């Protein structure tokens, strides 16, 4: 969260930093929104990035709130190694993926 706040700071934005918050974590999304509101940072000064098909309800909610949302789609020959690396980094990702894939 602290790193996100630094990237949204006046100094960072003056230097041309554009923050892309790539997460499905509600706490991180909420913290980013709170910080931006508190410091009057407009929603077009940053964006959220989420994986295709995961948390579609949250994606739609963010768009409805005026946020930029990019949908990340792993593709090509390296999609499977990418997916396996993500699972190896954090095995709980498998349950997160499966439970959210069938959610919306």
Say if residue 44 is in the same domain as residue 80. Answer: no
Q: What is the reported pLDDT for 10?
A: 74
pLDDT in tens, 63-89: 999 999 999 888 888 888 877 787 777
Say if residue 20 is in the same domain as residue 69. Answer: yes
Number of domains in the chain: 2
Say if residue 90 is in the same domain as residue 62. Answer: no
Q: What range does the domain containing 82 cover?
A: 75-104
> How far is 21 from 97, CA to CA, in rounded Å?
18
Say if residue 64 is in the same domain as residue 80. Answer: no
Which regions in the chain score pLDDT beneath 70? 1, 3-4, 7, 90-104
Say if residue 35 is in the same domain as residue 49. Answer: yes
Say if residue 46 is in the same domain as residue 64. Answer: yes
Q: What is the reported pLDDT for 49?
A: 94
Q: What is the reported pLDDT for 92?
A: 67
Say if residue 19 is in the same domain as residue 62. Answer: yes
Torsion sign across C-alpha atoms 47, 61, 22, 6: positive
Q: What is the reported pLDDT for 66?
A: 95
């Amino acid at each position: 969260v602290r790193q996100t706040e630094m990237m949204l700071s006046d100094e960072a934005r003056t230097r041309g930093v554009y923050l892309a918050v790539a997460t499905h974590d509600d706490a991180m999304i909420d913290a980013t929104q709170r910080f931006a509101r508190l410091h009057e940072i407009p929603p077009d000064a940053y964006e959220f990035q989420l994986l295709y098909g995961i948390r579609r309800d949250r994606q739609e909610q963010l768009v409805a709130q005026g946020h930029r949302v990019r949908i990340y789609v792993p593709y090509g020959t390296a999609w499977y190694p990418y997916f396996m690396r993500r699972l190896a980094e954090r095995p709980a990702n498998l349950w997160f993926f499966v439970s959210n894939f069938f959610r919306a």
